[in-house]
Amino acid sequence: MASSHHPPHFVIFPFMSKGHTIPLLHLSRLLFHRRIKLTIFTTTANRPFIAHFLGWKSDDPNIIDLPFPSQIEGIPQGIESTDKLPSISLFPAFATATKIMQPHFEQALDNLSNVTAIVSDGFLSWTFESANKFGIPRLSFLGMNNYVGAVCREVFSNQLLSGPESDDELIMITRNDFDKPLNQRVPIMGPDLEFIIESGIATANSYGLISNSFYELEPLFVDYLNSDPKPKVWCVGPLCLAEPQPPTVVEARVHQQHPKWMGWLDQKLAQECSVVYVAFGSQAEISKEQLEEISNGLEESQVSFLWVVRKDDDETNVVVKELEERVGERGMIVREWVDQIEILKHESVRGFVSHCGWNSVLESICWKVPILAWPMMAEQHLNARMVVEEIKIGLRVETCDGSVRGFVKADGLKKMVKELMEGQNGKEVRKKVEEIGEGAQKAMAEGGSSWRTLNELVHELQSVRGSDVSKGEAYIPVDDLHLLKI
């Protein structure tokens, strides 16, 4: 490492998934506008998306391709992003395979000069070892809120899930708020658990943790996490409020055809019709039976809706085609990738039926759209608790058996959609999300808490360049899950 008089230079390494990549590209914009040199690592197939998103040339030398491993069992050749996996069950194999990229990453890193810090997705745990080899501070990015981090730390350090007999018995959360293997009373070691532990250890020993959140949203949980000296949490979000895309990209968009769904939303606004937006992310796997109930519930609600359907198979296509025929102009179903922020910004959109991925929650907050929470996987169940119980910007979908993972029937969906859009509870969460949305914008504006925090982080990292502090600590052994601070 060179002396601190060099201008800051950040390496950004997103995990190969749109939901993980996009917030780190938003962070890249924030750093770029502070005149910080950036080098972004990715793979060949993901390079065009990154270049386009940032408004850079496709052959920009500051984007470095690493070869993605081939011959991964179960994963078709050429798939380099989790949103294109045939099944989310292949995620552990995909994530584990990224370790093969480590020698290529280190070779490329060796050719860079004056690197201030590496910002790595937490899923790329092996970058911690690489950062230590080069004496570079590593900052982990997990893409989740501090409520989840604090709850997980408390739950696993105190073994709270080994107690209640019922999977739905409430402690501060329930066992059903976690996916396997974390929801097991005695988690069984396997690829999933090994991946979680490796990611957790690397994050716990990194220089810091970059949080896509703002302090005023969850001060209790940020303070709880920062009561431990390491890793320090740096709240620099919501990152989706980063500076807009460079003019080259904006100008290009002007010449693109106005998407049909945006034209449809314009029509609804002219008709003074409120629209509920329905989207469950790119990786949720929804059964045909559940799709049929969603279809019937939206039809019976009599509310105008825009439903983005990611799955493209014969069963799904039959369900949505029949719905389109039944509801006519009252609903629109989109089977393409959409700009979700543009949809949430639209004045006609007054509610969001969401899986509660953290990016989606933040986008709802920033554009002041209340949520009907329907979590599907990963930490989404905890996000839903935060949305409904902690910050109170949404309602929860009604399951037929009361379980957080229960089946949702058409009547339950109809009831809660109408409550969100027209009921008293809907009015209350709408008021709350407008209040919190104002706070998010203030946090990101010049002089706001997130704006100041990012400046402080850059300044601090420059001051430790070349020092022993920047070299981090070696891996520590973890024998039991409850010892891991996630």
The tens digit of pLDDT for each residue in 313-325 reads: 677 778 888 888 8
pLDDT of residue 172: 62
Q: Quick check: 23 and 242 in contact, CB under 8 A?
A: no
Judged on CB neighbours under 10 Å (0-12, 13-18, 19+), 390 is: middle
Contacts of 291 (CB under 8 A, 6+ apart): 315, 316, 319, 320
- Of 442, 445, 486, 455, nearest to 216 by C-alpha is 442
pLDDT of residue 137: 95
CA dihedral 325, 326, 329, 333 (to 10 degrees): -70
pTM: 0.87
Report helix angle 18-33 to 358-366, nearest 10.
50
pLDDT of residue 257: 66
CA dihedral 165, 169, 174, 177 (to 10 degrees): 100
pLDDT of residue 183: 67
pLDDT of residue 467: 53
Give the other-Cβ count within 10 Å of 261's Cβ.
21
Taken as a whole, the chain contains a residue count of 486
pLDDT of residue 391: 96
pLDDT of residue 163: 60
Alpha carbon separation from 476 to 154, 273, 297 (Å, rounded): 20, 57, 50
Q: What residues of the chain score a pLDDT lower than 70? A: 1-5, 158-172, 183-187, 244-257, 312-313, 465-486
